[in-house]
Amino acid sequence: MKRLVLIILAAVLLLSGCAEQKPAELLKTGKLRAAITSELKNSKEIAEYIAEKMDAPLEIIRTDRETALDMLENGRADVAVGGFSETNNPGLNFLMTLPVAENRIYVVCGGDLTVTSVSDLTGRVAGASAELPENILRGLIAMVADGTLVCNNAQSAADMLRSGDMNAYVCFENEALELISGNKALRCCTPSDVDSEKYSVLVQKSKPELFGAVNGIVGEMITGEK
């Protein structure tokens, strides 16, 4: 009787092992098609890590945020890696992995202004990077009595800060560092009431098995497991 039970258990384990799909088998084309955007510096490296762990060839598709979402929704990409966070609300059709990176938000100040919280911008003329999510821009407009200027590049922001046409400029870390480099009159402040943007990898909601595999790999990447 004991021998029969052991045989049955072995058969069950064998069948369950056969039914389990390898991560690469979850990919429709046999390769990981990753739509990556420029908001996240190491998007390519993250996609490479996921593909390596899935033991799948990698196809990189460099594009903008909206196109990446469209490709993911229409099955032309398996994952989207870049500036995708809960703050900028990618939509209900996607699942978000654990955060893979974060992008700190700084206020670059000119003159004697020091910003420790967003409320310090009240009554000032503040600039905001075009890269910031819309909800952050709307929040700034509501708090800044004298208006918010949207700047499309760091150079125009630096010129306006130096001339005094703008008192402060809110942007992500990479743009802030570019601004203060070579501009001794400018400095970075970190408001205590502004959270960093936390970016995740997106997978189509209709592919829960693929999401589970990718999210597990992201978890390994975060904890440093091999």
List phi, psi (to 5°) of 165.
-70, -15
Instruction: Assign 3-class secondary structure to 187-212.
Output: EEECCCCCCCEEECCEEECCCHHHHH
Tell whether 98 and 124 lie within a shared domain.
no
Tell whether 168 and 116 lie within a shared domain.
yes
Close Cβ partners of 5 (under 8 Å, ≥ 6 residues apart): none
Question: Tens-of-pLDDT digits for all 226 residues of the chain?
Answer: 544 343 444 444 444 444 445 666 788 888 999 999 987 888 999 999 999 999 999 999 999 989 999 999 999 999 999 988 887 767 788 999 999 988 888 999 887 888 888 888 888 888 888 777 777 766 666 666 566 677 767 788 888 888 888 888 888 888 888 888 878 888 898 888 888 888 999 999 999 999 999 999 999 998 875 4
Q: What's the domain count of the chain? A: 2
Tell whether 171 and 206 lie within a shared domain.
no
Range of the domain at 127: 105-195
Q: Does 164 map to a domain?
A: yes
**Model pTM score:** 0.71
Tell whether 209 and 150 lie within a shared domain.
no
Residue 43 near residue 15 (C-beta atoms within 8 A): no
CATH code, domain carrying 125: 3.40.190.10
